Structure 1
Amino acid sequence: MSHFVELDNITLRYGGEDTGTVALEGATLRVARGEFVAVVGPSGCGKSTLMKALSGLWPVNAGTVIVAGREVARPLEIVGMAFQNATLLPWRTTLDNVMLPLEIVQPHRGRLRRHRAEYEARARDLLKLVGLAGFEQKFPWQLSGGMQQRASLCRALIHEPELLILDEPFGALDMFTREELWGVMQDLWMTKRPTVILVTHDLREAVYLADRVHVMSARPGRMVHARTVDLARPRTLEGTYTASFTAITQELREHISHARAAA
């Protein structure tokens, strides 16, 4: 079976060959096209480093990274990314922040001037989908943290990436806003169906959103457990309190505890 994302036995070291820190060693991950996968593990296990390797932002020292059938040797243009901090540019409106990738990524950069109305309509549709209709001309300081993160998700999706990488995108938000955005993210994924890889410390978040959850070992990180989440979609907050949901989160918690103890 071919996979859209294939990380095969990768090792990644920061610093020198002898004195550097080995962040990943023997890490392997395969993700099908359109699948939503979450990665969890102890703090410092290399989850974010895994995303850097996957997106081409940091080259691996050993092993291979293949996305869409091609080995990754430089930053990928088919990737959309969202992080813990929304990092919206303060001098740009919400609409202009969402449209920023179109000014950078081909072929959109070459088409933007001639087809701006078409792209603006796409951005407005995304903002409407996440509940930000009417906020297109607001600046980041005029938005709440949750609204900024909604805009960040739209920015990650505006160029219709084949792969969406989410690195703790809701980690800085309060619990109620975070849970609200789980529903927003689920709706976005079910509507657009990109391949998604989510890094999170929140096990409820992982189980709520993902088709499959991978647990990493302590540093140097590698995959030590995979759990398919066989819960019906769309998922609800009420469903997070059911016995089946709780059993999955508890299983993942035990594997993380074991990984920490083995460090």
Structure 2
Amino acid sequence: MTTFVDIQDVTHVYARAEDGAPAVQNLNLTVREDEFAAIVGPSGCGKSTLMKLATGLQFPREGTVIVGGREVGAPVKLAGMAFQNPTMLPWRTTLDNILLPLEIVEPHRSRLRKHKAEYVAKAECLLAQVGLKGQGHKFPWQLSGGMQQRASLCRALIHEPKLLMLDEPFGALDTFTREELWCVMRDLHAAQKVTIILVTHDLREAAFLADRIFCMSARPGRIVAEREVEFPRPRDLEITYSAPFASLVQELRGHIAQARAAA
């Protein structure tokens, strides 16, 4: 399978770091095309830094970052992003919030006015896929937190990204809503065929959603363990109560405990 994200021997130091210590060091990671990868590790290990490097929001001091066959030297236009906070603009309807990336990203920006109906239909289709059919006219403040996060996923996918970066997207939600959105994300990945990198502290979330899980060390971050997830797809929530699933979660917890102890 083709490698889509290739991070090789990367070290990155933030300019604002008073001690000059790297956030990540000798970081190596490859993610295959259409793969669902999850990144886990102790707090402050550089998970979000990895996300910024893969999308061109930061550039490494050493090493190379290649996405879609090209070395990253500018923000990656083929990427979509969703965060823990949906950050919906309160003065725009849900539909208009979803269409927002099309006002920025080419070639959609040049096509938007002339092909508005086409894009609206696409947004409505995405809303239906995430269980928000008929909700596009509502404003964010009329939606629950879980509904806003569903709309945020639609916004991240509206411009047909080849890479979807998810930074703790369900972390602020209650357990039941979070698990509902795991299933939404599972179904979106199956339907969209997009490469996904999920950054999460939730080991159950990583084990349920991912094809492969990478565990990072404490800062400076690097990959200390890599685990293929062999549960067949599509996965139902019942699998999270099985002994093999619990064993995988415990294994991941052990890697992170070792990483913290070594810090």
TM-score range, shorter chain: over 0.9
Letter in 2 for 1:216: M
C-alpha distance in structure 1 between counterparts of 2:76 and 2:261, whole Å: 36
Give, as a single letter, the amino acid of the residue that structure 2 aligns with 1:159. H
Q: Which amino acid aligns with 1:139?
A: F
Partner AA of 1:121 in structure 2: A
Is contact 1:90-1:139 (8 Å) kept?
A: yes
Q: Would the aligned equivalents of 1:53 and 1:60 in 2 still touch at CA under 8 Å?
A: yes
Partner of 2:137: 137
Partner of 2:202: 202
Which letter maps to 1:43? Answer: S
- Percent of aligned positions with the same letter in both sequences? 64
Task: State the Cα deviation string for residues 182-226 of structure 1 (Å, max 9, x = none).
Answer: 000000000001000000000000010000000000000000000
Q: In structure 2, what is the equivalent of residue 228 of structure 1?
A: 228
| Deviation per residue, 1:82-108 (Å, 9 max, x gap) | 000001111110000001111110000
Structure-1 separation of matches of 2:259 and 2:18: 25
TM-score, scaled to structure 2: 0.98
Aligned CA RMSD, in angstroms, stands at 1.1
In the TM superposition, residue 15 of structure 1 has moved relative to its aligned partner by 2.2
SS in 2 for 1:50: helix
CA distance in 2, matches of 1:61, 1:118: 42
Alignment partners' CA distance in 2, 1:4 and 1:22: 25
Whole-angstrom CA distance in 1 between matches of 2:2 and 2:234:
27
The runs of at least 4 consecutive aligned structure 1 residues that moved more than 2 Å come to: 15-21
Please name the residue that 2:183 is paired with. Answer: 183
How far the C-alpha of 1:244 sits from its partner, in A, is 1.2
Give the number of equivalent residue pairs. 263
Q: 1:18 to 1:2 in 2, by over 3 A?
A: farther
Distance 1:23-1:142 versus aligned 2 partners, 3 A rule = same
* Partner residue in 1 for 2:51: 51
Aligned-partner Cα distance in 2 for 1:159–1:60: 27
Q: Does 1:212 align with 2:212?
A: yes
State the shift of 1:22 in Å: 1.1
How big is the shift at 1:259?
0.4
**2:165 aligns to what?**
165
Deviations 1:156-179 (A, max 9, x none): 000000000000000011111101
SS of residue paired to 1:22: coil
Q: Is the 8 A contact 1:4 1:33 kept in 2?
A: yes
Quick check: 1:33–1:195 contact (8 Å CA) kept in 2?
Answer: yes
Matches within 5 A, 1:61-100: 61-100=61-100
Instruction: Structure 2: give runs of 5+ residues left out of the alignment.
Output: none
Output the TM-score relative to the length of structure 1.
0.98
